[in-house]
Amino acid sequence: MHVRLVHAPIAVPGLMHDFRVLLSRRSTRSLDAAEREDLARAQLRATRPIVSGVLLCGAVLMAIIAIFELVDVTPSIGYPVWAQVLAALGVAACAAGVARLVQWQQRLVLVLAGTLLTGVFMSMPLPGATGQLALRTGLFQLLPLALMALMVRPVSLLALALLIVVMAQLRIVLHGAPGTGTALYWLYTLTTIGFGLVLAGYRTDFAVSAWQMRRRLVQQAHTDELTGLLNRNGWSERAVALHAQALSAGRPVAVVVLDIDYFKRINDDHGHDGGDAVLQRLGGIMRARVGTDGCAARIGGEEFAVLLAGDDAVSAQAFAERLRNEFGKAQADLVATLSAGVAHHQAGESLREQMRRADLALYEAKRDGRDRVHVAGVS
């Protein structure tokens, strides 16, 4: 009889997901993956100099203790002063690396290394030395407590918490249970981790609020309230970036400039509410038709612009014609038409120069009777 053993796969990604959910805050659960990553990057940028400063404080503290031992004002735990100074310099080097490195994984390694060095030389006596161990351990625990409050990613919190637990266990293995008893010692250690998690949670909640407020302010500063399209500021930022990206990738770029014909007459005949309704209809059509490779903006009263990355002059003209036809059919109680100018990118041309040629094509469309699309010629 043959017994067949079935090995169940270890679902590490699933376990990590469950761990992230466990450590996630209610304030972050409504965010999608891209938003959470953007929030994490913003927090990492903000906390990086503070984490570096905390590690540097640890290095300074080690140096001060070494000086105290040198002048014989505090008992030694067995390490020579020169070794403590070298360790302090090592922690300072970790702090400098955290301030300079870009990858968060590399910074985490330095944080763990700096914390380990500080913990060993501050709170792990050599055999036969026991000088003020409780005070030294308490002083050291301030460092991981502060660092845990500043950790952004769940894996960083977990790594730092595990390091604290391992170091606590090593003290017991090397030097036995403290005089206060093992239970109280572990309560002290786990309380440090717990306070660190609580502080990290509240810092995350504050970071989410600040990040959401900043996003709202940026959106308000870059969005036209009436149409939901970009405003001129948003166009200047988004279109310039997309234009440069498309050119660097060797993709064609087209610009379409549109203007609602006789818009003043629409306002005079139907009031500003009627004019606003026409602008909103055009904004809705443009939002629905412009894909992720392009952007659309209201750059003036009744003037709009579209950047199409990946579209040549023919496809951009077809796009403008679809907009013109759809806009004309969308007006229920009034007559409104659209004129447009299209300019395909020429070698060495900036976005501003390309828009100027699209503007000239728009003027030609207006001059030839409106309600039409003109394509700028090659100069």
Active site residue 302: yes
Catalytic residue (one of 37, 302, 353, 364): 302
Q: How many angstroms separate the CA atoms of 164 and 143, rounded?
A: 11
> Going edge to edge, which strands form the sheet with 303-309?
294-298, 303-309, 253-260, 338-344, 373-375
**How many residues would you count in the chain?**
379
**The two structure tokens encoding residue 71:** 């002048």
Report the 10 Å Cβ neighbour count for 32.
8
- Spatial distance between the Cα atoms of 362 and 143, rounded to a whole number of angstroms: 65
Question: In sequence order, what are the residues at sequence separation of 6 or more whose Cβ sits closer than 8 angstroms to the Cβ of residue 42?
Answer: 207, 211
> CB of 327 within 8 A of CB of 285?
yes
Nearest one of 207, 226, 347 to 280, comparing CA atoms = 226
Would you say 349 and 265 are in contact if contact means Cβ atoms under 8 Å apart? no
Helix (H, G, I), strand (E, B) or coil at 3: coil
Q: What is the 3-state secondary structure of 308-371? A: EECCCHHHHHHHHHHHHHHHHHCCCCCCCCEEEEEEECCCCCCHHHHHHHHHHHHHHHHHCCCC
HSE-CB of 78 using CA atoms within 13 angstroms? 11
Catalytic residues: 302
